[in-house]
Amino acid sequence: AQTVTQSQPEMSVQEAETVTLSCTYDTSESDYYLFWYKQPPSRQMILVIRQEAYKQQNATENRFSVNFQKAAKSFSLKISDSQLGDAAMYFCAYRRALLTNTGTASKLTFGTGTRLQVTL
Amino acid sequence: AAGVIQSPRHLIKEKRETATLKCYPIPRHDTVYWYQQGPGQDPQFLISFYEKMQSDKGSIPDRFSAQQFSDYHSELNMSSLELGDSALYFCASSQKPGQGYEQYFGPGTRLTVT
Q: Are B113 and B14 in contact (CB under 8 A)?
A: yes
* Smallest Cα distance from A77 to chain B, Å: 18
**Cβ within 8 Å, pair B31-A105:** yes
Instruction: Inform me whether the pLDDT recorded for B105 exceeds 90.
Output: yes
**Cβ within 8 Å, pair A108-B43:** yes
Q: What is the pLDDT of residues A79-115, one digit of tens each?
A: 999 999 999 999 999 999 888 888 788 899 999 999 9
| Residues of chain A positioned with their CB less than 8 A from the CB of B93 | none
In this structure, the number of other CB atoms found within 10 A of the CB of residue A51 comes to: 20
Tell me if chain A has a CB within 8 Å of the CB of B90.
yes
A35, burial (CB in 10 Å: exposed 0-12, middle 13-18, buried 19+)? buried
* Smallest Cα distance from A110 to chain B, Å: 6
B49, burial (CB in 10 Å: exposed 0-12, middle 13-18, buried 19+)? buried
Q: What is the pLDDT of residues A28-48, one digit of tens each?
A: 998 999 999 999 999 999 999
* Smallest Cα distance from B52 to chain A, Å: 11
Q: Can you give the pLDDT at residue A102?
A: 81
- Report the first-to-last Cα separation within chain B, whole angstroms: 36
If you count residue pairs, one on A and one on B, with CB atoms under 8 Å apart, how many are there? 69
Q: Can you give the pLDDT at residue B16?
A: 97
Instruction: Inform me whether the pLDDT recorded for B98 exceeds 60.
Output: no
Q: How far apart are CA B4 and CA B103, in angstroms?
A: 10
**Cβ within 8 Å, pair B48-A100:** yes
Q: Can you give the pLDDT at residue A1?
A: 78
Q: Can you give the pLDDT at residue B48?
A: 95
Q: Which among A12, A14, A13, A58 is positioned nearest to A36, based on CA atoms?
A: A58
Instruction: Inform me whether the pLDDT recorded for B1 exceeds 80.
Output: no
